[in-house]
Structure 1
Amino acid sequence: MNVLLAEVAQATQRLADAGVPSPRFDAEELAAFVHGVGRGELHRVADADFDARYWEAVARREAREPLQHITGRAFFRYLELYVGAGVFVPRPETESVVGWAIDAVRAMDVAEPLIVDLCTGSGAIALALAQEVPRSRVHAVELDESALVWARKNVEGSRVTLHQGDARTALGELDGQVDLVISNPPYIPLTEWEYVAPEARDHDPQVALFSGEDGLDVIRGLERTAHRLLRPGGVVVVEHADTQGGQVPWIFTEDRGWADAADHPDLNNRPRFATARREVP
């Protein structure tokens, strides 16, 4: 075993002892990042090339700093994104939300679908939709200036139009024209603060995590925004916590102009996102 692989084994144990959920993967990813190779190429790093900065990176992860903050990158579907302090790190479970949205847009008989991503954060959702629905016109809205710094870096050169604004009042010029509204909003109840993983609680922006006593304050506001923006027959897709599956579809009720409200599972078969269609008169 070469020096780097031996150090990775030690780092894996340290991260496991610290409660890191995926210690082996993170130890290897940090080693690959520090040494400028792929994870599958770690065995090719010569003993003389071992970089002691690896242990600095391991110590940061041991303290539960997000892996993505240390490497400065996050992977989401087919994208590699810039991330760091001040922006919510996109999670794998959101990929299934976007997958459903992409299928829904592709099923529409619309040549150039108009899409709005509210609370865009890093821009991950908007960029994935722009990439995988090639003729789409995508607008992304973010209020927080710190998150916008990262979103601007990520959307540069893309077809995504980024707006700074409040998701509850943004894009009035698009009212009644949008085919799909999608959002991964804050949805953690304030009462759950102590149970949130340190990576999120101590490093993700609080504004991207918590939303009132039951976690649904922002989603209630987004319901009105989505109804305002969507054309008749347009679709809204909203991510939520797996414990909120029985609650979110009831926000999109028939008496508020919605049809076909439903909940959907993620890849682990946990309730993860709600969808509804703006009623056609």
Structure 2
Amino acid sequence: MTSSREHPPEGTERTRPGPVLATATAALSAAGVGSPRADAEWLATYVLGVDRSRLPLVAGFTPDELARYRRLVARRAGREPLQHLLGSAAFRYLELAVGPGVFVPRPETELLAEWGIARARGLAAPLVVDLCSGSGAIALSVAHEVPAATVYAVERSAGALEWLRRNAASRVAAGDPPVRVVAADVTDPDLLAELTGRVDVLLCNPPYVPAGTDVPPEVADHDPAEAVFAGTDGLGVIRPVVRRAAELLAPGGVVGIEHDDTHPVAVPAVFTADGRYADVTCHPDLAGRPRFSTARRVA
């Protein structure tokens, strides 16, 4: 089945996409965007309302579409996040609504989610907690892929909570089990007191970038600072999370925490120093960089 965009009515004025995409790619490259051609194509598919795979078949842009596309390209060249412009971010099997006020989930965090999902799948009725939930990427992925799980998503930021609740409601409407959204500070020593000693899998993608670190404009100007930076060494949230996780986890329960690539020794050391964990392991991402660390609560 073909789209009317691929075969527009006769006489419709269209601008072929090839030269438009080439110009957009050059502008994004000059602005320092890391994936200029891909971003140019994603913006085009958004404006034209077609799948990216069908972009070569599109007859072209109408004048209104071309004007809209050029405005979006200019915003992306100004280093506004692509996901803000599209209104969503892909994460594993989900599309999550994102925008100002919430951290945009990254592909590398899918590895932590995958690890947690694999552990939860081995249990009959797992209790899973996602701390620093943000948009809900990890929590909602667990609920989607492990429907037998009871999932809690904890977030402090009022802005992020709006996106989290929106995404949670959207996933329930799509048929996924509900996620229990909790407005709380993950550094609270009494966090989720009712779950003490009961949690099977605890996952956390906290703020972990050391203060003063140079970050891309998309992060510096658009991601909430409280979701990115965590003290001079980047461990300001991880330390209390490790302590609280030891209280929440059932004997044999597991925890996974994403961290900076400068933390392959520091985060495992925090787990080991606590004295209540075994099997402490640092895991690399697909590029070989240290990405998250895991541990098991001893009995």
1:55 aligned partner: 70
Alpha-carbon contact 2:129-2:203 (below 8 Å) kept: yes
Structure 1 residue 143: deviation in Å?
0.3
Matched, 1:186 2:207: yes
Superposition pairs of residues 91-110 of structure 1, within 5 angstroms: 91-107=106-122, 110=123
The structure with the larger Rg is 2
What percent identity do the matched residue pairs reach?
53
Flag structure 1 segments of 5+ consecutive residues without an equivalent.
none
Matched, 1:252 2:265: no
Q: RMSD value over aligned CA atoms?
A: 1.4
Alpha-carbon contact 2:48-2:61 (below 8 Å) kept: no
Q: Distance in 2 between matches of 1:250 and 1:153?
A: 37
Q: CA, structure 1 residues 2+186, in 2 after alignment: closer, same or farther (shift >3 Å)?
A: same
Flag structure 2 segments of 5+ consecutive residues without an equivalent.
1-13
Q: Distance in 2 between matches of 1:166 and 1:48?
A: 47
Superposition pairs of residues 144-223 of structure 1, within 5 angstroms: 144-156=157-169, 157=172, 158=176, 159-169=178-188, 170-192=191-213, 195-223=214-242
Q: Distance in 1 between matches of 2:85 and 2:204?
A: 26
Structure 1 residue 258: deviation in Å?
1.0
Residue of 89, 105, 115 corresponding to 2:104: 89
Alpha-carbon contact 2:84-2:99 (below 8 Å) kept: yes
Residue of 28, 37, 53 corresponding to 1:15: 28
**Which residue identity lines up with residue 178 of structure 1 in the other structure?**
V
Alpha-carbon contact 2:15-2:61 (below 8 Å) kept: no
The TM-score normalised by the length of structure 2 is 0.89
Structure 1 residue 256: deviation in Å?
2.8
Q: Distance in 1 between matches of 2:296 and 2:81?
A: 36
**Which residue identity lines up with residue 114 of structure 2 in the other structure?**
G
Secondary structure of 1:260's partner? Answer: strand
**Which residue identity lines up with residue 166 of structure 2 in the other structure?**
K
1:243 aligned partner: 262
Secondary structure of 1:191's partner? Answer: coil
Alpha-carbon contact 1:2-1:43 (below 8 Å) kept: no
Q: Distance in 2 between matches of 1:182 and 1:48?
A: 44
1:224 aligned partner: 243
Superposition pairs of residues 6-85 of structure 1, within 5 angstroms: 6-47=19-60, 49-50=62-63, 51=65, 52-85=67-100
Alpha-carbon contact 1:168-1:224 (below 8 Å) kept: no
Q: CA, structure 1 residues 48+208, in 2 after alignment: closer, same or farther (shift >3 Å)?
A: closer
Alpha-carbon contact 2:280-2:295 (below 8 Å) kept: yes
Matched, 1:130 2:130: no
**Which residue identity lines up with residue 64 of structure 1 in the other structure?**
R
Structure 1 residue 102: deviation in Å?
1.5
Q: Distance in 2 between matches of 1:9 and 1:2?
A: 13
Alpha-carbon contact 1:258-1:279 (below 8 Å) kept: yes
Residue of 270, 275, 280 corresponding to 2:294: 275
**Which residue identity lines up with residue 174 of structure 1 in the other structure?**
L
1:9-41 Cα shifts (integer Å, max 9, x gaps): 110010001000000000000011011111122
Q: Which runs of 4+ in 1 moved over 6 A?
A: none
Secondary structure of 2:102's partner? Answer: coil
Q: Distance in 2 between matches of 1:228 and 1:80?
A: 33
Alpha-carbon contact 1:142-1:164 (below 8 Å) kept: yes
**Which residue identity lines up with residue 44 of structure 2 in the other structure?**
A
Alpha-carbon contact 1:130-1:136 (below 8 Å) kept: yes
The TM-score normalised by the length of structure 1 is 0.95
**Which residue identity lines up with residue 183 of structure 1 in the other structure?**
C
Structure 1 residue 85: deviation in Å?
0.4
**Which residue identity lines up with residue 238 of structure 1 in the other structure?**
I
Number of aligned residue pairs: 276
Q: Distance in 2 between matches of 1:237 and 1:15?
A: 36
Q: Distance in 2 between matches of 1:100 and 1:46?
A: 43
Matched, 1:141 2:162: no
Alpha-carbon contact 1:69-1:85 (below 8 Å) kept: yes
Residue of 265, 268, 278 corresponding to 2:284: 265
Q: Distance in 1 between matches of 2:110 and 2:85?
A: 22
1:211-260 Cα shifts (integer Å, max 9, x gaps): 00000010001011111110011001000011111110111126531111
